[in-house]
Amino acid sequence: MAKYIFVTGGVISSVGKGISVASIGRILKSRSISVSVQKLDPYLNVDPGTMSPYQHGEVFVTQDGAETDLDLGHYERFIGVDLTQASNVTSGQVYSSVIAQERKGDFLGGTIQVVPHVTNEIKRRIRQVAEISAADVVLVEVGGTVGDIEGQPFLEAIRQMRKDEGRDNVLYIHVTFLPYIAVTDELKTKPTQHSVNELRRIGIQPDIILCRSDKEISEGIKDKISLFCDVNKEAVIPLVTSETIYEVPLLMEEYGLGDFIVNHLGLEAKESNLDNWHELVNRLKAPKEPVTIGLVGKYVELQDAYYSVREALRHAALTHNREVKIEWLNSEELQDGHCDKLRQVQGIIIPGGFGYRGIEGMVEVAKFAREKEIPYFGLCLGMQVMVIEFARHAFHSQDANSTEFDRDTPYPVIDLLPEQRGINQKGGTMRLGTYPCHLVPGTKAAHAYGYEVTYERHRHRFEFNNAFRQPLEKAGLIASGLSPDGKLVEIAELRNHPWMLACQFHPEFRSRLDCPHPLFVDFMGTAKETLTEGAQTSLPIN
Ligand code: GLN
């Protein structure tokens, strides 16, 4: 029978609750305890797939094709698990299914209420993760902060879980923030006390408090939190902002969190082994020669929109014992001949995106990369942009385009798949999730992977249009990754270029610190050898 750890947040959002949950998963896994994870998101959208990156950051895609919260990316990267759609539950999903049951007549005669109907549906979905995964421990993060109106049914459901599952099988962890007041040079615990009071009002007494802070936390502060919040002092865990997020599991371990959880839940565990992780973190923190990569997109002011891409670049750089330095470049600002900024970068990456805004700037960037022979890596939209630019060059026509951006283009080199035509509903209707991709021998892609078939995650509506495959191949484009039936171009690369390669899928979702993605590693390998105009003066370190 699974045990449950519920993690709530207090005081403010964005203090790294997701990273904390992912790190707890890692320290349990390092003791040979199997872990699965779930995020409960109180908003009313069914999933974040239809939300703007400005609202929500990146949409993380699971192997079974769910469009989920970016916290699932942290969980997968830290714990090394492949999660499923059951791992992200929103109020939208919960209410939709309760209302569908009501319409079917499942509750005939009854009044449908938040307690018990909505809370039962939430609990059913929590237990479903335990069943599907058969994990020893299910870690459940409740999104938002305690006190949010939408969060109430979720908190009520997790409160009931302690009674349902048995007191020894459930643990509550509260992640709070200690603000620093510069005038008096002190950290304040009052907001933490208030948020714990709010939790208690609902009936949840936290067993552990994780205190996020930008400053060292003194023993006195820990005593105070322990006293006022009624939590053992060894369960008040300071989490001072670290140099890298990958250090968090090590910090938690240092403060004894792993042992505390194991004892509290009576888990059977082996001795913790984080040696490999330790080694990776030490290498991450050591000073290294940088590789400068220009990331060109339209949401660059909000780096969360490209979270997995940034992490995948970091992982790949570490493989080469380098450090990636990302130049975040807004494609709209590079438009109309402003690509000169790219003379300072050793590689260019164009990640995924939707809609026409910013596209012409990206096409110019692709042209610049092709002509100046700068390594270029396109992810999903980045592949479509590369194909559009190459077609404009090959066909001597500025009209080549994707039908996403120009419905009437005479050269629709990127077009909707037949099965996508006529779909008007926006949510959950894209080509989503994992598909196999066969690598064509002798290509850069095949060389990067070193094996014949890869399984990669997709999230798009448009595809390479086969009607143009032959003329584009003749002009120097190589279809280097194909669907098993050979009909879908999943990877394309340019023949006469050091490294201009792009894929229709999102390789970034599969990259891990301890298992970087082959395409990112190969791209970084070429980029690190590329000299920028300022290279001779700015690059070499040791
Ligand atoms: N907008 C493009 C499509 O729908 C690319 C999507 C993406 O980059 N994820 O095909």
Over residues 62-71, the pLDDT tens digits come to 999 999 999 9
List the catalytic residue out of 156, 364, 508, 517: 508
Tokens (6 digits) for 221: 């502060």
pLDDT over threshold 60, residue 537: no
Tell me whether residue 23 is exposed, middle or buried, using C-beta atoms within 10 angstroms of its C-beta: 0 to 12, 13 to 18, 19 or more.
Answer: buried
Amino acid at 438: H
Domain boundary among 261, 281, 301: 281
What CATH number has the domain bearing residue 450? 3.40.50.880
What pLDDT is attached to residue 11? 82
Q: Assess whether pLDDT exceeds 80 at residue 517.
A: yes
pLDDT-derived band at 55, boundaries 50, 70, 90: confident
Residue 421 forms part of a structural domain: no
Last residue of a domain, one of 240, 261, 281: 281
Is 506 noted as a catalytic residue in this protein? yes
Given a cut of 70, whether residue 539 has pLDDT beyond it is no
pLDDT at 352: 95
Given 117, 320, 506, 517, which residue is catalytic?
Answer: 506
On whether residue 89 sits in a domain, the answer given is yes
Q: Is residue 375 included in any domain, yes or no?
A: yes
Residue 379 Cα to ligand 1 midpoint, Å, equals 9
320 and 182 co-located in one domain: no
368: left (phi over 0), alpha (psi -120 to 50) or beta: alpha
Write out pLDDT tens, residues 361-410.
Answer: 999 999 999 999 999 999 999 999 999 999 999 999 999 999 999 999 99
Q: Which of 211, 339, 380, 503 is catalytic?
A: 380
Are 516 and 368 contained in the same domain? yes
**Total domain count, the chain:** 2
Q: Is residue 420 part of a domain?
A: no
Q: What is the pLDDT of residue 541?
A: 38
Distances (CA, A) of 35 to 46, 80, 249, 392: 25, 10, 15, 50
Active site residue 211: no
Last residue of a domain, one of 281, 315, 346: 281
| Nearest atom of ligand 1 to the alpha carbon of 353 | 8
Q: Is the CB of 460 under 6 A from ligand 1?
A: yes
**Nearest Cα residue to atom 3 of ligand 1:** 460
Q: Atom of ligand 1 at shortest distance to CA of 351? A: 8
CA distance linking residue 197 with residue 205, whole number of Å: 9
Q: State residue 57's pLDDT score.
A: 87
**Which protein residue has the closest C-alpha to ligand 1 atom 1?**
354
Q: Tell me: the pLDDT tens digits for 66-99?
A: 999 999 999 999 999 999 999 999 999 999 999 9
Instruction: Give the pLDDT mean for 36-58.
Output: 89
Residue 541 located in a structural domain? no
Task: Provide the CATH number for the domain around residue 203.
Answer: 3.40.50.300
pLDDT of residue 22: 97
Q: Give 48 Cα–ligand 1 centroid separation in angstroms.
A: 15
CA of 318 to the centre of ligand 1 (A): 29
Which pLDDT band holds residue 534 (cuts at 50, 70, 90)? Answer: low
Instruction: Tell me how far apart the alpha carbons of residues 131 and 134 are, in angstroms, rounded to a whole number.
Output: 5
Q: Whose CA is nearest to atom 7 of ligand 1?
A: 352
Q: What percentage of the chain carries pLDDT values higher than 90?
A: 87
Query: How much is the pLDDT for 422?
Result: 72
- Measured from the Cβ of residue 124, the count of other Cβ atoms closer than 10 Å reads 13
Q: β-strands 35-41, 431-439: how paired?
A: unpaired
Confidence of residue 341 (pLDDT cuts 50, 70, 90): confident
Residues 447 and 406 in one domain: yes
**Ligand 1 pocket test: which of 462, 503, 509 has the largest number of ligand atoms within 8 Å of its C-beta?**
462
Residue 419: per-residue pLDDT: 73
The confidence score (pLDDT) of residue 531 equals: 85
Q: What is the number of the ligand 1 atom nearest to the C-alpha of 404?
A: 1
Q: Which of 380, 414, 458 to mutate to test the pocket of ligand 1 (most atoms within 8 A of CB)?
A: 380
**Which of 52, 349, 354, 504 has the most ligand 1 atoms within 8 A of CB, as the residue to mutate?**
354
Does the beta carbon of 354 sit less than 6 angstroms from any atom of ligand 1? yes
Instruction: Identify whether residues 72 and 214 lie together within a single domain.
Output: yes
C-beta of 136 in contact with ligand 1 (< 6 A): no
- Residue 40 is assigned to a structural domain of this protein: yes
Structural domain boundaries, residue 508 = 288-415+427-536
pLDDT at residue 301, as a whole number: 81
Judge if the beta carbon of residue 462 lies within 6 A of ligand 1: yes
What was the pLDDT predicted at 6?
A: 98
Do 350 and 479 sit in the same domain of this protein? yes
Task: Decide: 352 in ligand 1 pocket, CB within 6 A.
Answer: yes
Catalytic annotation present for 194: no
pLDDT digits 0-9 by tens, 401-425: 999 999 999 999 999 987 777 777 7
DSSP for 106-165 reads: TTTTPPP-IIIIIHHHHHHHHHHHHHHH--SEEEEEEPS-TT-TTTHHHHHHHHHHHHHH
Q: pLDDT digits over 222-235, tens only?
A: 999 999 999 999 99
- Asked whether residue 267 falls in the same domain as residue 292, the answer is no
Residue 422 lies in a domain: no
Mean pLDDT estimate for the chain: 93
Shortest-distance atom of ligand 1 to CA 414: 10
- Tell me, in angstroms, the distance from the centre of ligand 1 to residue 384's CA: 8
380 lines ligand 1 (CB under 6 A): yes
Nearest CA to ligand 1 atom 8: 352
* Residue 426 pLDDT: 74
pLDDT band per the 50, 70, 90 thresholds, residue 338: confident
* E strand or H helix at 379: strand 376-379
Overall average pLDDT of the 263-267 stretch: 95
Same domain? For 271 and 349 the reply is no
Q: 455 by DSSP, 3-state: which?
A: strand
- Residues forming beta bridges with residue 433, ordered by sequence position: 458
Indicate if 266 and 302 belong to the same structural domain: no
CA of 185 to the centre of ligand 1 (A): 49
In this structure, the answer to whether residues 95 and 142 fall within a common structural domain is yes
CB 430 within 8 A of CB 459: yes
φ and ψ at 68, to 5 degrees? -130, 175
Kindly state whether residues 272 and 408 are assigned to the same domain: no
User: Is 50 exceeded by the pLDDT of residue 267?
Assistant: yes
Paired strand residues for 60: 68
**Are 142 and 9 contacting, i.e. CB atoms less than 8 angstroms apart?**
yes
Q: Is 80 exceeded by the pLDDT of residue 428?
A: no
Within a domain: residue 528? Answer: yes
Q: 330 and 431, same structural domain?
A: yes
DSSP calls for 218-262:
-HHHHHHHHHHHT--GGGEEEEE--SSGGGHHHHHHHTTHHHHHH
pTM strictly above 0.75: yes
What is the CA(462)–ligand 1 centre distance, in A? 6
**359: how many CB neighbours lie within 10 A of its CB?**
23
Same domain as 457, residue 349: yes
Beta strands at 477-482 and 489-494: parallel, antiparallel or unpaired: antiparallel
What atom of ligand 1 comes closest to residue 354's alpha carbon? 1
pLDDT band per the 50, 70, 90 thresholds, residue 542: very low
